[in-house]
Amino acid sequence: MKVLGVDIGGTFVKIILKDGDSVVKEKIAISEDVKEKGKFEKFMLDTILKYSPQKVGIAVAGLVNKEGVITNSPNLRYIEGINLKVYLQNYLNIPVFVGNDANFAAYGEYIYGNGKGSKILICLTLGTGLGGGTVIDGRIVEGVSGSAMEIGHMIIEKGGKLCNCGRRGCLEAYVSSYGLERIYREISGEDFSSFDIIKLAKEGDIKALNSFDIFIDYLSVGVMNIAHIFNPDKVLLSGGIVENYPQLLPKLRKIVKRITFPLPAKDLTIDSGLLGSWSGSYGALAVAENHSS
């Protein structure tokens, strides 16, 4: 059976086509002229038609309700309000699954990545924002409305720093690329990209290392909260910051172990994801493969 996993990003649509044992990956640029309602749906239809799949899963950076409507996507405004599931099913006449990219990414790690065999798996994606997804006993935790696990917007500092969501003190306001950049700016008075701060930290720059200490402190509290609520066996971190600065992992493990109740800490493994920037596509593929409409 030909199954397609699609991840819609800011500039690319990332596709994995699985046909038996053969797996093909492709990145397709989203041109500016299709970035509007109506045109984007047609673009997705044409893109998918080329592969003639029998099932399709689609991961989107946003909130997707149970009917398939993308209700909220702060970084891809032109997909807000559209129902890709219904639109594509009408034209393709095949099962289409649309869901949140962080949830699908967690499922991708569960089926194809570093979360195989995990009973309670939590995945955090540290990038521009902080995304979260959970898989318990092989099922994605979606919540009643499909919006569960907005881990990045748990408030860990009441009245704290401003988050991109408009609230103050969210975990994301500290543990994200813009969070790291702000921390560094407050320490050094200088503006650097998270990419450069990582480079400086690797070179031993004391201000960059101090910035990471603060970053890791907040992340530790976030992981501790997750451990206290879910008692998971695995927390996986992925995204550009972790991929480029894996040095943060040993420190994080040490602090989490120190501040978390011993019982949940004992059975918790903190590690990095395996699928990198393809986790959303793998997750979409896995959802389509393992679910019936």
Kindly list the residues in this chain that would bind Zn ion in the complex (CB under 5 A): 153, 163, 165, 167, 170
In this structure, what are the phi and psi dihedrals at residue 191, rounded to the nearest 5 degrees? Answer: -95, 115
Return the biggest CA–CA distance within the chain. Answer: 58
CA 107 to CA 116: how far, in whole Å? 10
Shortest distance, position 149 Cβ to Zn ion, whole Å:
13
Q: How far is the CB of 260 from Zn ion (least distance, A)?
A: 23
Nearer to Zn ion, 163 or 224 (CB): 163
**Nearest approach, Cβ of residue 162 and Zn ion (Å):** 9
Closest separation in Å from C-beta 233 to Zn ion: 27
Please report the DSSP string for 100-166 in residue order. EHHHHHHHHHHHHSTTTT-SEEEEEEESSSEEEEEEETTEE---SSS----GGG-BSSTT-SBPTTS
Contact between 83 and 36 under an 8 Å Cβ cutoff? The reply is no
Please report which helix (H) or strand (E) contains residue 42, including its range: helix 39-49
Considering the complex, what minimum distance in angstroms separates the CB of residue 145 from Zn ion? 18
Best CA proximity match to 155, nearest among 177, 170, 172, 176: 170
Pairing state between β 12-19 and 2-8? antiparallel
- DSSP code of 246? T
Q: How far is the CB of 76 from Zn ion (least distance, A)?
A: 17
Token output for 108: 């991708």
- Any idea how long the chain is? 293
Between 153 and 253, whose beta carbon lies closer to Zn ion? 153
**CB-wise, 58 or 223, nearer to Zn ion?**
223
Nearer to Zn ion (CB atom), residue 99 or residue 179? 179
Work out how close the CB of 165 gets to Zn ion at its nearest, in angstroms, rounded to a whole number: 3
HSE-CB at 274 with a 13 A cutoff on CA atoms is 12
Rank residues 168 and 257 by Cβ distance to Zn ion and give the closer one: 168
Rounded to the nearest 10 degrees, what angle do helices 177-188 and 206-230 cross at?
Answer: 140
